[in-house]
A = this chain, B = another copy of it.
Amino acid sequence: MRNLLFTIQYQGSRYHGFQVQNNAVTVAQIFQDALEQVTGQRSDIKGCSRTDSGVHANMFCVSVKTESKIPCQNLVRAFNVKLPPDISVLGCREVPLEFHARYSCQGKRYIYKIHNSPVRDAFSHQLVYEYPYPLDAELLNCQAQDFVGTYDFSSFCAAKTSVKDTVRTITACGVERQGDSVTFFVEGDGFLYNMVRIMVGTLLQIGAGGLPQGSIPKIIGAKSRSAAGPTAPPWGLYLDKVFYPQNQLGLPGEEQANG
């Protein structure tokens, strides 16, 4: 038995998120079908995260326990022949048997892409959030610093979640502009349901004057979803990096991104 860690990339537009669902095509299902075709075995797969319908991943990790003896490099090649063009396998490595793509995960980085122009980009349909109104990225970057720290983020959690511990640590957060592209980024040890999209929706509302500047600490303190701004649409969101401790990967040393 080997435990394999696959690093994949996908454009989520056509999929109902990662996790297998009944009556909806998901990335996990496509990956599992390819795995069965390549190895001849049906194996259980563990994803690093659930992602929502339409959300993308620059990097997503999947761990698979398999009896297959096919070398990792050959698996990457074989997978990329079987998978549709909107899912790619970037890499594959053997990891210790106790490794689990979700439970071993120490942190994640998300980005949220906004195309900020009165005219939409003909090449970015479903890949960015089109925001045609003026946006002060520097102001949003300043406001975003209030997310950094360890807080109860229940104000930034979709009401329909059942998670009990809503405390999370955000280690880095910011907003950057390059021409018409405005990118929000956030790194932390974990994220609640819809947390990043509500953070973005809240920042945009502050930018538009619908919420006062400096209101993020107060919104966090309210511990109520209704205190925060709207949920930004899924198609701007990308899981960007997944962090594992080196020892979980069977490597000496400190935490690193597996990419």
Residues of A within 8 A of B (CB): 9-11, 56, 76-77, 80, 85-90, 118-123, 125-127
Question: B56, A123: Cβ atoms under 8 Å?
Answer: yes
User: Bound state CA distance, A127 and B88, in angstroms?
Assistant: 15
Q: Select one of B85, B88, B90, B120 contacting A85, CB under 8 A.
A: B120
Distance (whole angstroms) from the CB of A7 to the closest CB of chain B: 10
Question: A119, B76: Cβ atoms under 8 Å?
Answer: yes
Given contacts A11-B122, A88-B119, 14 further A-B contacts (CB under 8 A): A9-B121, A9-B122, A10-B122, A11-B123, A11-B125, A56-B123, A76-B119, A77-B118, A85-B122, A85-B125, A85-B126, A88-B120, A89-B119, A90-B119
Distance (whole angstroms) from the CB of A90 to the closest CB of chain B: 6
User: Bound state CA distance, A125 and B56, in angstroms?
Assistant: 14
User: Bound state CA distance, A9 and B117, in angstroms?
Assistant: 14
> Mind listing 17 A-B residue pairs with CB under 8 Å?
A9-B122, A9-B123, A10-B122, A11-B122, A11-B125, A56-B123, A77-B118, A80-B119, A85-B120, A85-B125, A86-B122, A86-B123, A86-B125, A88-B119, A88-B120, A88-B122, A89-B119
Distance (whole angstroms) from the CB of A93 to the closest CB of chain B: 14
Could you tell me the dominant secondary structure of chain A's interface residues? loop
Distance (whole angstroms) from the CB of A132 to the closest CB of chain B: 9
Q: Chain B residues near A77 (CB, 8 Å)?
A: 118
User: Bound state CA distance, A242 and B86, in angstroms?
Assistant: 32
User: Bound state CA distance, A126 and B118, in angstroms?
Assistant: 26
Q: Chain B residues near A127 (CB, 8 Å)?
A: 123
Distance (whole angstroms) from the CB of A189 to the closest CB of chain B: 27
User: Bound state CA distance, A80 and B122, in angstroms?
Assistant: 10
Q: Chain B residues near A120 (CB, 8 Å)?
A: 80, 85, 88
User: Bound state CA distance, A214 and B86, in angstroms?
Assistant: 38
Q: Chain B residues near A86 (CB, 8 Å)?
A: 122-123, 125
User: Bound state CA distance, A126 and B86, in angstroms?
Assistant: 11
